[in-house]
Structure 1
Amino acid sequence: MARTLVLIRHAKAQHPDDRADHGRALAGQGRRDAPVIGRWLRSQDVAPQVAVVSSALRTRETYQLLAAELPAAPDPVVTDDVYYASAGDLLEIVRALPPEAGSAAIVGHNPGIGMLANALDDGDSTVGDTTRMRTGFPTSSVAVFTVEGDWSAVDPGGLRLVGYLVARG
């Protein structure tokens, strides 16, 4: 069974001096960019059945805004496990996704989310603009991968990148 994995870095966040990192909200640019992510996923016929979202405010807001653009977005599984997660931590989250899910999205942070995207990529993609993915995975980046087999068997270098976007609204 072919599956789809979507890795999303949150949209641009505010940098207030008086707020802890976990509570940073989206900036105006981020509020404009996040719906672009959802519209792009819809245009690619990508509809996550499961969404695992960092507990940070900016990731929850990103998911809420992008999900509003999807026909049937799932309620997010909000977890501290994605906040400050390394690529290895995130890989374990992917491997633990429900076996019945045919598609899943993870909304997280750099450096972990970008490092995971690059680690999973088999390097044979013909998707354009992947240089941005490989050199930094900017805010509002979305990488879509095809997964052959079970989530539990996902390994570095084993997924085909089939879509990539840096959303700018």
Structure 2
Amino acid sequence: MSRELLILRHAKSAWDTGARTDFERPLAKRGRKDAPRVGRWLNEQGLVPDYVVSSPAERAKQTVIAVCEQMGIGEEGIHWDSRIYHASSGALLDVLNECPPAAQRMMIAGHNPGLEILLQNLVSDDIPPPPDYKLMPTAAVAHLEILSSWHDLEGGLARLISLTRARSLTGV
């Protein structure tokens, strides 16, 4: 049985909040609107993950909590992993390799450029660039079919099913 991976980039963050560090930056108004919309869409599509891991950075945390809330997943069902913040594709792959073997659909939430590079590395085919050349803009979610176990996952062992941006979700 194949597995599925949802790669979620945090929603739009605010720069003018007085946050002392990049790690503490919260979501902007648009991000607070987009995150629940993505969660509702995932729920409507039947794409509820059975394992969720996220960066603990404030903007990622606010995003994944809002997304998961729309799917009936409480904060206690989210695993926080500091390795995801400022992670390379290799570090993100290490996180995925540690996913519980029983998980069939996993969601990882974090930041660019790591997530975008991870997506490109996992997918065996070239991904055509969008018109704006932003593969994973804020509040985007990539849905992949994984062609291996989590433990054995490596580059080229995934197939892109869809790439959805919050801005494209109308009426959700």
1:131 Cα deviation (Å)? 2.4
**Separation (CA, whole Å) in 2 of partners of 1:165 and 1:17:** 28
Quick check: 2:9–2:137 contact (8 Å CA) kept in 1? yes
Quick check: 2:6–2:143 contact (8 Å CA) kept in 1? yes
What TM-score comes out, normalization by structure 1 length? 0.89
1:134 Cα deviation (Å)? 9.8
Quick check: 2:12–2:30 contact (8 Å CA) kept in 1? yes
Which runs of no fewer than 5 residues in structure 2 stay unpaired? none
Query: What is the CA RMSD across the aligned residues, in angstroms?
Result: 2.1
Quick check: 1:114–1:133 contact (8 Å CA) kept in 2? no
**Separation (CA, whole Å) in 2 of partners of 1:8 and 1:17:** 23
Which runs of no fewer than 5 residues in structure 1 stay unpaired? none
Structure 1's consecutive aligned runs of 4 or more residues displaced over 4 angstroms after TM superposition are none
Identity over aligned residues, as a percent?
33
In structure 2, the residue corresponding to 1:6 is in which secondary structure? strand
Work out the number of aligned pairs and report it: 165
Quick check: 2:60–2:110 contact (8 Å CA) kept in 1? yes
In structure 1, the residue corresponding to 2:71 is in which secondary structure? coil
**Separation (CA, whole Å) in 2 of partners of 1:124 and 1:89:** 22
What TM-score comes out, normalization by structure 2 length? 0.88
In structure 2, the residue corresponding to 1:58 is in which secondary structure? helix
Residue 132 of structure 1 aligns with which residue? 130
Seen in structure 2, the aligned counterparts of structure 1 residues 113 and 71 have a Cα distance that, compared at 3 Å, is same
Residue 36 of structure 1 aligns with which residue? 37
Seen in structure 2, the aligned counterparts of structure 1 residues 92 and 135 have a Cα distance that, compared at 3 Å, is farther
Residue 50 of structure 2 aligns with which residue? 49
Quick check: 2:9–2:141 contact (8 Å CA) kept in 1? yes
